[in-house]
Every structure is written in C-alpha cells, then in structure tokens.
Amino acid sequence: MTENLLKPYALNNTIKLNNRILMAPLTRCMADDELVPTQAMAQYYARRADAGLIISEAVIIRPDGQGYPNTPGLFTQAQIEGWKNVTREVHNKGGKIFAQLWHTGRVAHPYFYGKGDDNAAVMAPSAIGAEGSVPRMRELTYKTPKAVTHDDINSLIADYAQAAANAIIAGFDGVEIHGANGYLIDQFLHHNSNHRTDEYGGSNENMARFPLAVVDAIIAKIGHDRTALRVSPGAYFNMEGDSRDREVFDYLLPELEKRNLAFLHIGIFDDSMEFDYLGGSASSYVRANYSKTLVGVGSYSAEMASSAINDNKFDLIAIGRPFIANPDYVSKVRNNEPLTSYSEEMLTSLV
C-alpha cells in the first residue's frame, strides 16, 4: 500500500532522490555552546540517511536570528567544519541532505546574542511583538522588535545568500529557506506582523518583496535546482491569521513557480487543520495554486501519505517525529514493520 513512497523521484536534472520520504526539519537544540554541530549530531543524521532527503534542523544564518538554545549556525568557519562532518557521514551512507536556513525574526531573544545587553535589537518587519516566551527557557519573554530598515533588509538578504553558499561549502546538497512557522520571512507575509507602509508592506506585492528577494539571492548564489522553500499560508504558530493573508499568497505562489525551485514545502504541524480564508487545508490551497514539486507534512502516516500522493495532493512526504523514534523509518515502511511510538522523553538525547 506504500509502494509509491519507495520509488525514486527526480527533483530536477541535478538531484535525484532514492524515495519520496523526506526527514522533516526537527529542532533538537543539541549543538555546542558555539552553535557548532557535534559528532553525536553527525551520527544522528547518518542513521537516517535512508530518507530520500534529509532536511536538517533549522540553522541560523547569523547571531541575531537565534531564538532557541543551542541551535546550530552556518555563519562561522567552525560551524561550517562541523556541518562538513554531518554531510560526510550522511553521504557515506548514500543519503542526501539540505540545510534549512533560519532567522527567527521577532521571536529571537537577545539572551543568545546580546552579549549581556538585554536590549539588543530584535529584527522584524514591524515593531509588533509576539506574545509568550522562549521554548525550553520560559523565563525569557519575547521583546518588542525593531522594524528593520532598508539597510537591515539588504544585510539580511546578503546573509541568507552567504549562509546558502556556506551550506554548499559544508557539503549540503542544497538548502531549504525557512519561510514558514511565524519566523522572519513568514512575518513579512502576514498582516498580523507586517504593518509596513513602504515597499515591503501594504500591498500583496510589497509584502512578498523581501521573501522573493531572499529566494532570488540564494538562487543567484547556488542555483534554483538546489534552492527550496517552506511556507505557511495558514497562520497557526507565533502568528494570528488574517483573511487578507490569502491574497498575499495568491500573489506569492505564481511568483515562486516562475523560479523553478527544487521543491516547495508546507509548514504545518497537522495538515488536517483547515483555514477559512484558504478554503480548507494549507496543502490543498497550495496545490491548487502551485503545480511543481510540493512536499506535504503534518501528522501523516505512511499509508495516509501514500494515498495523498496517489491522489496528487502533493509529490513527496516529510516525516517528523516518527523519524526521531525510528531512525530506520524507511526500512520499517518498506518491510511493513510496526513503528516505535514517539514520546517527549526522546528529545533529551540524540539516538
């Protein structure tokens, strides 16, 4: 019943996957204190190299993008060297791996990068704070961000592109830009967080300008065939929805299609969620407006994913927590073996 998941899939002429099962990006907070990937991380990813493609945990592009403890970076030479070890281990097992490039925007916290200055700037489209506190460090509440200037925006675009170049130097097969889940790029795409009145806000085209500029800068650095993007047209995490958001994505998705990305990936925890302003689920909305390679995600079993792919709801499936519990997930699907259930205690170590 899951045979289609195990068939090879060509993303393009450059990258061919051994199967349609992707390991979803899973934040583990296990890098060292310099945000360098460890040997334990390399072994963790290598054990999952049977996935058609691993998408790494989110990797911050520069210090002020950090919003969680011990999340790895891609902006120092030591971090690049650490990732070289990870990609080498994955490739030695016959796998492929993309780096997910990340800036958390208004849910970053100066505790991580302010060098003792609790008032160090937090970057966001507008000076509108998110409610709540830092996961795993609940004593740290979110700050009111500064609205980024044009110089800030140009710097961010350049740093995304440099992080992509660093990823290729580190041996990654490509990158997925994290444009979802209420982080910086997603903050430009939703009315809840973008109240700008310049060329980066107000209209659909303006709200999509920064995300598209990041995509274009990365394509210019590493090629469209190695560039992917994750998006959350339905606001559900670190963000409140607005019915006007759909029009922004109605504009964005055809623009992305022109760029011939390696793939587009839905950002959602549970794809059974429906959004009134999207007319249903996030994946069904995107599929109706984007015809190229689409990655589904969000609480799918292998059987459910196989059926969805047969029904052309998406082309590839990203699996999250079951990959934490089952390093041999692909083998178990292939052999129709029962899966080990995920539990939160599994987050305390890399197995």
CATH fold of 3-348 reads TIM Barrel (3.20.20)
The burial of 346, by beta-carbon neighbours within 10 Å (0-12 exposed, 13-18 middle, 19 or more buried), is given as: middle
The mean per-residue pLDDT over the stretch 229-257 comes to 97
Distances (CA, A) of 301 to 89, 321, 339: 28, 11, 10
pLDDT at 122 over 90: yes
183 among known catalytic residues:
yes
Joined tokens for residue 303: 């059987």
Segment holding 209, helix H or strand E: helix 209-222
Q: Which residues contact 236 (CB under 8 A, 6 or more apart)?
A: 268, 269, 273, 275
pLDDT at 165 over 90: yes
Question: Identity (one letter) of the amino acid at 293?
Answer: T
Joined tokens for residue 266: 């839905």
Question: Identity (one letter) of the amino acid at 289?
Answer: N
Kindly name the residue from 183, 200, 236, 290 that is annotated as catalytic.
183
pLDDT band at 1 (very low <50, low <70, confident <90, very high): confident
At residue 283, φ and ψ (nearest 5 deg) are -70, -40
pLDDT at 245 over 90: yes
Residue 39's pLDDT is what? Answer: 98
Q: What is the pLDDT of residues 311-332, one digit of tens each?
A: 999 999 999 999 999 999 999 9
Spatial separation of the C-alpha atoms in residues 324 and 305, rounded to whole Å: 18
Q: What is the pLDDT of residues 188-218, one digit of tens each?
A: 999 999 999 999 999 999 999 999 999 999 9
The mean per-residue pLDDT over the stretch 225-235 comes to 98
pLDDT band at 161 (very low <50, low <70, confident <90, very high): very high
Q: What is the pLDDT of residues 2-60, one digit of tens each?
A: 999 999 999 999 999 999 999 999 999 999 999 999 999 999 999 999 999 999 999 99
Largest CA distance in the chain: 56
3-state secondary structure 11-64: CCCCCEECCCEEECCCCCCCCCCCCCCCHHHHHHHHCCCCCCEEEEEEEECCHH
Residue 184's pLDDT is what? Answer: 98
pLDDT at 270 over 90: yes
Question: Residue for token digits 């390696």?
Answer: 262
Q: Shortest CA distance to 101 belongs to which of 63, 70, 134, 74? A: 74
Residue 61's pLDDT is what? Answer: 99
Question: Residue for token digits 């007319």?
Answer: 279
